[in-house]
Amino acid sequence: MHYKKSFITILLSLCFLAIAPQAFGQTKDQKALEAKKSALEKEIKEMNRLLSVKKRERGAVLEDLETANKKIKVREQLIRLTNQQANLLTRQISANQKEVKDQQKALTALKKEYAQMIQKSYLHRAQENRLLFLLSSKNFYMAYKRLQYLKQYQAYRKKQGEGIAVQTKALEEKISSLNRQRKAKEALVLSNTAAKKQLLSEKQYKAKVLQDIRQNERKYTAAIRKKQKEAKDLENRIEALIKAAIAAANKKAKGVKGGANFLLTPEAKRVANNFTANKGKLIWPLEKGLLKRGYGVYSDPVYPGIKHQNNGVTIATEKGTQARAIFEGEVIAIMAVPGGNLGVQIKHGNFISTYYNLKTLGVKKGDLVKEKQSLGEIASNDSEGQTILKFYLYQNSTRLNPQEWVFNLK
C-alpha cells in the first residue's frame, strides 16, 4: 500500500512537470508588451533619423517644437510600457519563487523516500535469497505471483529513480528561467532609467525652444499665419480641382453639366467598390515614413488654446523617397502651386487621392496607374532638414480621414 501511494505521488509530480514549465515561459502578456515596446523603440529610432534636430534657419523653430513634442509623447509611452513589463515580471518572479520552493521541498521528500526504499531492499536481499523466496512457494501459482511481484518492484524502483531525475532536471530549468527573469527585470530597470534621462533632456530642449519662440513672439505669430494661409490655399486648390474634374468627367460621360458626384461607368463602379472593400488595408502613399501630423483638429504646440485643422495627413520620410499610388486609378490633375511644389491627383472610381510636395513627376494627366506605381520624388526642405509628403483623400468632394483607410497610418 505504501509503494502504491508513493507511485501515485511520482505520477502526480510528473504530470505537474509537464504543465509547470508553461508558467516559466514567455506569457501572452509579455509577448504583447514586448511587441509594443519594440514598435515604440522603432518609432523613436525612426524619428531620430527622419526628424533629427539640426542647425536651422530662422522660422524653422516650429518644426523643432513639433519634433520635440512628438518625441516626448512617444518616450513617455515607452516608459509607461517598460514599467508595465517590470511589474509583470515582478509578479511572475514572486509566483515562480514560491513554485521553486515548493518543488524543492517535494523533491527532497521524494529523494528521502527513495533512499529508504533502497536501504530496505538491500537489507531484504541480504536476509533472503530471491531464489529461496520463489522456491518456498507452496504451489506454482504462488511462485508465479511472487515472480510478478519481484518484477513489478524492480520496475517501480526504476520508475521512481527516473522520476526523481526528471524532476531534478525540471527544477534546474525552473531555477535557470527564474534567473533569466531576474536579469530581464534588471535590464528593464536600466532601460527605464536611460529613457527617463533622455526624456528629461528632450523636455529641457522643448523648454529652450519654447523660450526662444516666446522671446520672438511676433516672428512666431507671423510664421503661424503664413503656414495657415499656405494650408488653406492648398486645400482650396485641391477641392477646386476635384470639382472641376467631376464636372469634366460628367460632361464627357453623359453630356451633363454640374453635379457634386462622379457619374460612374461600370468599370469605375468596380474600382470604387474595390477601393471601399480595402478600407483600412490601403498601402501607404510612400514605402517608408513616419506620421508627423494626423487628420483633424490639433492644438497649437505653443498656445494649446489655439486650434488648427489638418484636412489630410503629413508624413516625414528620407530624402530621395518616391510617392506611390495607394490604389489603381487615373491621374486626373497635376498641381503646380505658385511658389510651392508639385502635386498629383488620382481618381479611383469616385475616390480621389492627392499627393502634394513633390519635387519631380513620373506621371501625367490621363495616365492609368497601378497600385504602388511611382508618382514622383518627394521634395526636401534643406533649411529644415526634412522631407515631407502631404496626403489627402476624398470621396467625390467630401473629405475623408486617411487614417481610417490606410493600413496602420497612426
Query: Dihedral through CA 229, CA 234, CA 239, CA 245, nearest 10?
Result: 150
Q: Which amino acid is at 258?
A: G
Q: Which of 161, 187, 215 is at the close of a domain?
A: 215
In a domain, 220, yes or no: no
In a domain, 94, yes or no: yes
In a domain, 222, yes or no: no
Three-point CA angle 118, 124, 130, nearest 5°: 115
Nearest-CA neighbor of 378 among 337, 339, 336, 342? Answer: 342
Nearest-CA neighbor of 100 among 181, 8, 189? Answer: 181
Q: Is the pLDDT of residue 384 over 50?
A: yes
Nearest-CA neighbor of 287 among 373, 353, 400? Answer: 373
Alpha-carbon dihedral sign for residues 373, 375, 309, 63: positive
In a domain, 236, yes or no: yes
- The mean pLDDT value for 195-205 works out to 81
Asked which of 1-5, 48-52, 81-85, 335-339 is least confident by mean pLDDT, the reply is 1-5
- The pLDDT value given to residue 365: 94
State how far the Cα of 358 lies from the Cα of 335, in Å rounded to an integer: 10
User: What's the pLDDT band for 56 if we cut at 50, 70, 90?
Assistant: very low
State how far the Cα of 48 lies from the Cα of 346, in Å rounded to an integer: 32
Shared domain check, 235 and 210: no
Q: Are 327 and 282 a contacting pair, CB within 8 Å?
A: yes
User: What's the pLDDT band for 123 if we cut at 50, 70, 90?
Assistant: low
In a domain, 305, yes or no: yes
In a domain, 177, yes or no: yes
DSSP state letter for 284: P
Q: Are 191 and 83 a contacting pair, CB within 8 Å?
A: no
Shared domain check, 256 and 138: no
CB atoms within 10 A of CB 64: 21
State how far the Cα of 41 lies from the Cα of 253, in Å rounded to an integer: 52
Give the domain CATH number at 334. 2.70.70.10
Shared domain check, 67 and 181: yes
- The pLDDT value given to residue 3: 42
Q: Structural domain tally of the chain?
A: 2
Name the most confidently modeled range: 36-45, 161-170, 253-262: 36-45
Q: Which amino acid is at 114?
A: Y
Q: Is the pLDDT of residue 198 over 50?
A: yes
More confident residue, 108 or 329: 329
| Distances from the Cα of 369 to the Cα of 244, 284, 331, angstroms | 21, 15, 7
- The mean pLDDT value for 57-80 works out to 71
Shared domain check, 238 and 173: no
Q: Is the pLDDT of residue 80 over 90?
A: no
Q: Which of 164, 182, 215 is at the close of a domain?
A: 215
More confident residue, 280 or 99: 280
Shared domain check, 39 and 181: yes
Coarse DSSP helix, strand, coil percentages of the chain, rounded to the nearest 5 percent: 60, 15, 25
Shared domain check, 103 and 29: yes
Shared domain check, 235 and 166: no
- The pLDDT value given to residue 284: 97
- The pLDDT value given to residue 258: 53
CB atoms within 10 A of CB 370: 10
Q: Which domain holds residue 81?
A: 2-215
Shared domain check, 258 and 127: no
- The pLDDT value given to residue 315: 93
User: What's the pLDDT band for 24 if we cut at 50, 70, 90?
Assistant: very low
In a domain, 385, yes or no: yes
Q: Which three cell numbers stand for residue 377?
A: 520624388
Q: What is the share, in percent, of the chain residues with pLDDT greater than 70?
A: 75
Average pLDDT over the chain reads 77
- The pLDDT value given to residue 263: 87
Name the most confidently modeled range: 23-37, 132-146, 339-353: 339-353
- The mean pLDDT value for 119-128 works out to 55
Q: Is the pLDDT of residue 52 over 60?
A: no
- The mean pLDDT value for 132-144 works out to 65
Shared domain check, 253 and 158: no
- The pLDDT value given to residue 185: 78
- The pLDDT value given to residue 2: 45
- The mean pLDDT value for 237-262 works out to 79
Task: Label each residue of 138-181 as H, E or C.
Answer: CCHHHHHHHHHHHHHHHHHHHHHHHHHHHHHHHHHHHHHHHHHH
- The pLDDT value given to residue 5: 45
Shared domain check, 111 and 51: yes
Asked which of 21-35, 107-121, 211-225 is least confident by mean pLDDT, the reply is 21-35
Q: Which of 215, 243, 260 is at the close of a domain?
A: 215
Q: Is the pLDDT of residue 285 over 60?
A: yes
| Distances from the Cα of 110 to the Cα of 150, 160, 165, 307, angstroms | 22, 9, 11, 72
- The pLDDT value given to residue 7: 42
- The mean pLDDT value for 388-394 works out to 95
State how far the Cα of 145 lies from the Cα of 44, in Å rounded to an integer: 75
Nearest-CA neighbor of 161 among 26, 7, 285? Answer: 7
- The pLDDT value given to residue 187: 78
Shared domain check, 266 and 160: no
- Residue 303 backbone zone (phi > 0: left; psi -120 to 50: alpha; other: beta): beta
In a domain, 257, yes or no: yes
Query: 3-class SS at 360?
Result: coil
17-23 long-range contacts, Cβ below 8 Å, gap at least 24? 17/166, 17/167, 17/170, 20/99, 20/103, 20/170, 20/174, 21/170, 21/173, 21/174, 21/177, 23/92, 23/95, 23/96, 23/99
CA 214 to chain centre: 37
Shared domain check, 110 and 43: yes
